[in-house]
Amino acid sequence: MMQNLFSLKGRVALVTGGSRGIGKMIAEGFLTYGARRVYVSARKAAACDAAAEELSAIGECVSLPADVSTLEGINGLVARIAEREDKLDILVNNAGAAWGAEFDTFPESGWDKVVDLNMKTPFFLTQALIGHLRAAGKDHVAKVINIASIDGQSVTKDETYPYGASKAGLLHMTKRMALRLAADNIAVSCIAPGAFASDMNRVARDQAEAVSKSIPAGRIGTTEDMAGAAIFLASRAGDYVTGSAVTVDGGVSFAR
């Protein structure tokens, strides 16, 4: 047992926002550590298909494009999963959005987009897939991993009001969902990333050297850093972690 603590052999996973950035890092890690099949979902079909094709060099990766910002999109994605799988071992709620604007002019449209995708979507997608997760929970601990942010744990100077608020809400919702679903042998946990190169965090992507100066570890996060945290939570090693957040930020949240 101890030799297989981090193995994902035989497991099936769904990663939303899996075509790029943190989601793609996690999908790559799952496949590398033996996942039987990883579904990646993203709003842009071409990007989703390209990511799945690239990751298929490691293991079976299937593209399921979907807009999970709406209940219609969520239900459509779940229907496509149900056509292919009787159970789902791992769900990673990674799809998210950010919006920055000055306080005096911050638009309602930006607020609604960010809060709906960052906080409402993880709840309703998990709800829609609960039958598949419970089925997996009959064999071992099924996993729901929500991707939050250190901006939900501490305050940034950036005027991204609904982003931090929604990620703080997701951290709290993770705790509540964990209490409810533990009885179904489903562990719900969270990752709170710091600076990783992505389209959402273009500053870290395009100005990594400058950003690294404010990080105690001296660098931004890598694919291995993010994949390692997700593999830990998704595998047997993380079975006893429920309701908690793993902060992966090189210490930057303590230096703010």
Q: ∠189-17-245 over CA atoms, to 5°?
A: 20
* Paired tokens of 97: 């959005």
**Distance (Å, rounded) from C-alpha 90 to C-alpha 234?**
7
* Paired tokens of 237: 């090693």
CB 31 within 8 A of CB 59: yes
**Distance (Å, rounded) from C-alpha 147 to C-alpha 52?**
20
**Is 109 exposed, middle or buried, given 0-12, 13-18 or 19+ CB atoms closer than 10 A?**
exposed
* Paired tokens of 100: 């920055």
Residue whose token pair is 């931004």: 220
**Distance (Å, rounded) from C-alpha 136 to C-alpha 123?**
19
CB 155 within 8 A of CB 165: no
Question: Which residues form the catalytic set?
Answer: 163
* Residue 183 Cα to chain centre, angstroms: 23
Q: How many CA atoms lie less than 13 Å away from 73 in the CB half-sphere?
A: 18
